[in-house]
Structure 1
């Protein structure tokens, strides 16, 4: 790289050593992940019947991801070429930004695939342990599976970022834009595709199995059960693991971009040191996750999280005061940013104290969201109990009460996130660049919890699959089944909690990226327009105020993009689930002996249906995420694009929390009834909660989680195209014809994709089969 661009400034000796240590910690995390994996695989696998069921799930999951990666390779190739075409200060930066786009996408895919490949082997081991050795070993295997994925996430995220910083020095932030974009883009596709797969199978299985034929959730007579269990892995394991990895990568990217401007060389290193501490404390949290006698599993997991978070906070505060100076005058070669030079504001205060408080804000926010999400989605708290109680009056009241839980919880969660963002922003005082860096550091503080958070998330689908394998095999005693039911309920809550943390990470990263976008635009505007005096600067700033119609229109378009994306994702689940319902009904009607247990359902047919539909349906939301910022930016300008990002961040935050918590409340309300409350399984109250859960499934596992990578992808695309938009709008390279053409083509592609998506049928064929005679609801 230095040969391509001799102006690259590499790290000084001590900082180089520190980043090298971070890279070694990343490798150690990967080594620990391999060790945890071997521990999981060393556990017993149960009976031959359980192995056969698990093998079917493994084959379905592997087949789906193989087909998904072939599809996504086309998008990755197109994005790689487009990145090469975008302008950069140096040809070497342009090339390596594109190369590390592929690296980021590859790491995101690796985290998703390797996490899934272990989860589909761990599920039957958890089921076998519950039957053979008891609750504690079963819980340990499930959490060790998550720990493997957590270490993989932390290790690859730190390794990618530290290698770029070592190799590219002060140009690392621009190269890392490609790394973060690759991770975010692939994660969004995996989150959407996996979410459509898992919820189409789940909804179809529930409606035909539980509601129409009054059979258990994972009854082997239901043709959709294998697809449902496959979906848990490709959606909640592969999709969510990739999502959390990209959150890790993109937050690091935002922190490094702003850190290099606020703290100079130390600003490139400190954001790496903070999550490196988190990698070490995550190991502590994993080993602390040992249930006490008679203790609820969720209490055990929460205690491990809180202790590791507290240790991270103390360690990061010590790091800040040891590594950073207490005065900005002690930074070597630190220059004020363009933003601060134009609009006033100097770096003042104690850098070590600012950094320490910002990191602690991020850690405290993670703990607060964990508690808040647990309250609104946990079975032991009033919101879920109230939703369960409304099942006595039917499905309509279940849906209404779940919606109210989602709306209310979105307000409180947003207040917590908003308080954290604004509190961190105030730390910067008069310096806008420093304030934005403080927000990014809050995100880095939240990253210290990611190792344990990923472990919590993966624990959910593994325990869910374990219960499914136990029920389908019939080889687990009543005591073992009760253990698995408890772990499944715990897993439901941990999945909801991790979605809340992921949303918070997305907001912090998007806010920091928004700041990076503003910096990039201002830098380019001053370069092209030659803005050097305060009067011109103030005129420039006025264009970004909300009373500018272009900004306000951008806000509305950004909010609309979130609504359209959510609608497309939920509608995709509805269409695919409809296909599953008709196929399962057909098999009940046409295959002799299914209900008597003498006929074998055609499980592979349902897996093929949801695989085909999910891969077809993920294209339109992906096109919207990538091309909407391009259409707005080139069509309406950089000020409208700034409003677009603000609207997407604000609406996306509320929408994601609403969808995730509504779905989580409905799911656990169903669990409450299935545990014997309000009439128990088979009652009218149970049927009502099943319907509520089917509504909530695409809320919490498809549209809600996919909004996280959506807002980061749109911010990264905006950051990448900002210079090109400014160049074509003003200055010597102004070309309104080309600019409008790009916008029109992007908008037309979105319109055509949405039109094609809306024309797809909800059913497999034109001949709608009759409902089975056994219909009970």
Structure 2
């Protein structure tokens, strides 16, 4: 029998720890106050001409209607999840109730941040266009970035507020309760990511295929019925979806860090240090938003990158200082206090008792946080290299437009595949380096991984600002073009800001993917910790040995899980891309119908029916998000209860490994295609209206669901699956090895879960891949050009 450090539920906050948590709560409130200030500054700027305000109001109305309908749909999932969390095992009913209530707070915060991102972005769009109308590039940049700063402050403020409140109320039981908080945030974020991604890319693809290629009109021409829906989609997909995505990354990483921190450090900072690092990030994020200003002769991207790197450097220095102030410098100091709890068998003792090791917790934790911050900075550079308009890879894609759309698509796929390798190897090197810091202790290594995620997320306030900058600038350009109120100089300013926004969006996707991998890896460790603790309570030595063997990669159960987990990522991606294909097909046919039945659209004597296209996008995206969502939740349940905890571990490993490669491939391919189109539109290789331009438009159309639907949706996917596994692990162990073991119930749960997935996929596959008119009606625009 191997002794463990005092069980988490036995831990309590000392007077000094309570003071630290109260200070963290205060810092969280400071973040919310600054977010309110940034919002007030944005809304105080001029809103533009009557035409700009009219277009902006239409976009805001469509986005608000979409989110309202989506939240109404998702409320059913939330109620079901709340009830299921009450049923799953926990120490007592008070903890179960707390976990379920925390789920609602996590989901509610995620939804609020998504709504805030959408609402303020739609208000800022016309203001950026108005600044450009007056030739004030710096003012336009400031408005766009402080719009993102508002959402960034809400992200870090609410994430830190929720975690700190749970720690203050539940103390040693906080990690269990926070599982519900993280699950709520992740579930809502995944649905918002998938639904918003389908909406925005259905409208974007439809607008490009009919407007640019068939009708030969500009991207945001008011004659295109899909333009309003395209602008709505940017806000519900990029602003609302990414804001919720990064919030749940923040929440889930804190959950993993607190679970593993209590196991690795016990009462010596396990419940407080994981909160201190994000609190430092709040302060550096405020600084980062304030210092983001373009110097004379400096473009917007250079100014944004400079503020990111300065914020990251300050956060690293402050985090190192905090580690040496709040953590012991000798692992022997972790041995104090009462020991309780045992783990059956030496096999399950791999996590190790930190008191038996010789390492420096302060130095190791400081190094882990710095590794996370450096990783964020390197991923920022790496993603920018593969997707930026000034980089060789993207310019190579643009040059292939001279030989047609096929070579554009092939070169973009090649860049995506290559960049995925470098990103994955970088993350792998960081994780292995964190293991080396841990002196052979698996639990300490996993805690360091979680701390690296916290370190990376010290920059999340600036990251959210960078991401929101993209769609705000894009929509501002659209409003300017649709209104016709911006001269050539103003249009050039907006083109520059839009190109910068494309790059910042791609960069933040890369960082979000990296955060997802670190969070999922830490949750993977928390899953093992949960199984170890449960086995210690219910199982024999023989059963413990069997569980350990099932985790070995050479065991067929684990290997089967790896294959199924990788396959789940492919299926999820395929479902998301097919959903965009179907929804975009409906938009293409609708826009063609309007051109055919309203010939006055082309000479401006009739107005397109924008609301009809918005309604189609809303209906189809809400319908299509169900199947990927059910797959994410029920696949781990089917594997875990059907094949065992070892197979579920393999499933998670396969999903994490495949997920990071697939997400980076999709995001960077799409980013390269998008900016290659921008390069040609700026006059290279013939410019707009040429065959080269048409080739890049087709490439960008393929890349749209890659980078804005399937790719970013994988981030919350792997975290949702890991959280589901963490939540159900005690139930699987109990039904498999405990006194109340029952294979019939276990297999019944697995069978029902599998049938839910199969049924959802079958229903999805029955939908026509190209909804709309007959083929012979496809090219009617040739008569109206």
Normalised to the residue count of structure 2, the TM-score between the two structures is 0.96
Distance in 2, Cα, partners of 1:188 & 1:289: 30
Cα distance, 1:762 vs structure 2: 3.2
Matched, 1:372 2:390: no
Matched, 1:333 2:337: yes
**Residue 405 of structure 1, aligned match among 402, 412, 415:** 415
Distance in 1, Cα, partners of 2:605 & 2:340: 76
**Residue 100 of structure 2, aligned match among 95, 98, 116:** 98
Q: Classify 1:588/1:302 alpha carbon distance in 2 versus 1 (closer, same or farther; 3 Å).
A: same
Matched, 1:214 2:216: yes
Q: Secondary structure at the match of 2:430?
A: helix
Q: Secondary structure at the match of 1:261?
A: helix
2:658 matched residue in structure 1: 651
Distance in 2, Cα, partners of 1:489 & 1:334: 59
1:311 matched residue in structure 2: 314
1:759 matched residue in structure 2: 766
2:518 matched residue in structure 1: 508
1:470 matched residue in structure 2: 480
Counterpart mapping for 1:739-758 below 5 A: 739-758=746-765
2:743 matched residue in structure 1: 736
Cα distance, 1:776 vs structure 2: 12
**Residue 728 of structure 2, aligned match among 715, 721, 725:** 721
**Residue 49 of structure 1, aligned match among 48, 51, 54:** 51
**Residue 677 of structure 1, aligned match among 684, 702, 718:** 684
1:273 matched residue in structure 2: 276
Cα distance, 1:624 vs structure 2: 0.1
**Residue 780 of structure 2, aligned match among 755, 772, 777:** 772
**Residue 287 of structure 1, aligned match among 287, 290, 306:** 290
Distance in 2, Cα, partners of 1:655 & 1:765: 31
Q: Secondary structure at the match of 2:271?
A: helix
Cα distance, 1:542 vs structure 2: 2.6
Q: Secondary structure at the match of 2:782?
A: coil
Q: Classify 1:335/1:286 alpha carbon distance in 2 versus 1 (closer, same or farther; 3 Å).
A: farther
| 1:732-756, Cα deviation, whole Å (9 max, x unpaired) | 1110111111000000010000000
| 1:493-538, Cα deviation, whole Å (9 max, x unpaired) | 000000000000000000000000011112212221133xxx9866
Q: Secondary structure at the match of 1:268?
A: coil
Cα distance, 1:294 vs structure 2: 1.8
Distance in 1, Cα, partners of 2:445 & 2:30: 33
- Check whether the contact 1:499–1:660 (CA below 8 A) recurs between aligned residues: yes
Q: Classify 1:354/1:125 alpha carbon distance in 2 versus 1 (closer, same or farther; 3 Å).
A: same
Q: Classify 1:610/1:34 alpha carbon distance in 2 versus 1 (closer, same or farther; 3 Å).
A: same
2:159 matched residue in structure 1: 157
1:69 matched residue in structure 2: 71
Distance in 2, Cα, partners of 1:662 & 1:157: 31
Distance in 2, Cα, partners of 1:541 & 1:642: 11
Distance in 1, Cα, partners of 2:675 & 2:728: 43
Counterpart mapping for 1:116-155 below 5 A: 116-155=118-157
Distance in 2, Cα, partners of 1:189 & 1:334: 44
Distance in 2, Cα, partners of 1:82 & 1:767: 46
Cα distance, 1:333 vs structure 2: 2.1
Cα distance, 1:75 vs structure 2: 0.5
Q: Classify 1:6/1:135 alpha carbon distance in 2 versus 1 (closer, same or farther; 3 Å).
A: closer
Counterpart mapping for 1:243-254 below 5 A: 243-254=245-256
1:530 matched residue in structure 2: 540
Cα distance, 1:431 vs structure 2: 1.5
Cα distance, 1:774 vs structure 2: 2.2
1:430 matched residue in structure 2: 440
Report the more deviating stretch, 728-737 or 164-173.
728-737
1:607 matched residue in structure 2: 614
Distance in 2, Cα, partners of 1:334 & 1:673: 68
Q: Secondary structure at the match of 2:637?
A: helix
2:4 matched residue in structure 1: none
Cα distance, 1:83 vs structure 2: 0.8
- Check whether the contact 1:144–1:455 (CA below 8 A) recurs between aligned residues: yes
**Residue 700 of structure 2, aligned match among 693, 698, 706:** 693
Structure 1: give runs of 5+ residues left out of the alignment: none
Distance in 1, Cα, partners of 2:113 & 2:543: 48
Normalised to the residue count of structure 1, the TM-score between the two structures is 0.97
Distance in 1, Cα, partners of 2:209 & 2:773: 21
Matched, 1:457 2:460: no
Q: Classify 1:356/1:215 alpha carbon distance in 2 versus 1 (closer, same or farther; 3 Å).
A: same
Distance in 2, Cα, partners of 1:312 & 1:53: 41
Cα distance, 1:601 vs structure 2: 0.3
- Check whether the contact 1:191–1:702 (CA below 8 A) recurs between aligned residues: yes
- Check whether the contact 1:212–1:775 (CA below 8 A) recurs between aligned residues: no
- Check whether the contact 1:373–1:496 (CA below 8 A) recurs between aligned residues: yes
